[in-house]
């Protein structure tokens, strides 16, 4: 006597389970896509915050360093002038520097200059490194240079770039 086993119910449950697994797989993929999108958005925001944070630290360093690099003829340190950290460039050649002026709309002079870089972010990083190097060792040997108009300024090569004293 042959026994017949009915597997139809088992196959129906298997097909339902397979459909549920497929639906869950699609839901997980959709969630993964959302997580990827959020991760990219956070990384982009972090990169912007990173530049802003670097600029803030560079300018704080420059403000502290300003009185230290004044000419020896100064009777007392002057207040830091208006300054800004500016990246510039194109393609894969960028630089960043701290520029200052003594009045609104006045001539801007370079105070700290970072090394050339492949991206604006890397240029700002080099500028931060230069300002931090100055903070570590702000009294190296200094030499006087003159620009095209004969004005003297202090200049010194430092790790990550150069720095320049006040033009008088």
- pLDDT, tens digit, for every residue of 94-149? 999 998 887 777 788 888 999 999 988 899 999 999 988 887 766 444 444 555 66
Supply φ then ψ for residue 56, to 5 degrees.
-60, -45
Task: Specify the 3-state DSSP secondary structure of 43.
Answer: helix
State which residues form the domain around 12.
7-168
Alpha-carbon Rg for the chain, nearest whole angstrom, is: 30
pLDDT at residue 141 in the model = 41
Greater confidence (166 vs 22) lies with 22
User: H/E element holding 25?
Assistant: helix 8-65
- pLDDT of res. 142: 43
Global pTM reads 0.54
More confident residue, 94 or 42: 94
Q: pLDDT of 59-95, one tens digit each? A: 988 888 887 776 544 555 566 677 888 888 888 899 9
Number of domains within the chain: 1
- Establish if 2 belongs to a structural domain: no
Residue-wise burial string across 32-71, b where 16 or more C-beta atoms lie within 10 A, e elsewhere: eeeeeeeeeeeeeeeeeeebeebbebbbebbeebbeebbe
* pLDDT for the residue numbered 155: 60
Q: Of 8-17, 143-152, 155-164, which one has max mean pLDDT?
A: 8-17
Is residue 28 domain-resident?
Answer: yes
93-101, strands of its sheet edge to edge: 82-90, 93-101, 109-114, 161-164, 152-158, 143-146
Residue 36 maps to a domain = yes
Of 109 and 159, the one with more pLDDT: 109
- Beta-strand ranges (E) seen in 40-102 are 82-90, 93-101
Residue 166 lies inside a defined structural domain of this protein: yes
Residues 6 or more apart from 1 whose CB is under 8 A from it?
none
Is residue 156 a part of any domain in this protein?
Answer: yes
């Amino acid at each position: 006597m042959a026994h017949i086993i009915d597997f139809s119910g088992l196959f129906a449950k298997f097909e339902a389970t397979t459909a549920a697994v497929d639906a869950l797989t699609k839901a997980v993929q959709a969630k993964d896509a959302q997580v990827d999108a959020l991760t990219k958005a956070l990384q982009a925001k972090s990169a912007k915050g990173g530049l802003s944070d670097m600029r803030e630290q560079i300018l704080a360093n420059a403000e502290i360093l300003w009185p230290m690099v004044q000419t020896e003829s100064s009777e007392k340190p002057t207040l830091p002038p208006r300054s800004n950290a500016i990246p510039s460039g194109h393609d894969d050649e960028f630089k960043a520097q701290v520029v200052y002026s003594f009045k609104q709309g006045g001539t801007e002079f370079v105070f700290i200059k970072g090394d050339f870089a492949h991206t604006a972010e890397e240029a700002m990083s080099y500028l931060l490194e230069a300002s931090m190097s100055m903070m570590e060792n702000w009294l190296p040997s200094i030499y006087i240079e003159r620009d095209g108009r004969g004005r003297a300024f202090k200049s010194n090569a430092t790790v990550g770039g150069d720095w320049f004293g006040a033009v008088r």
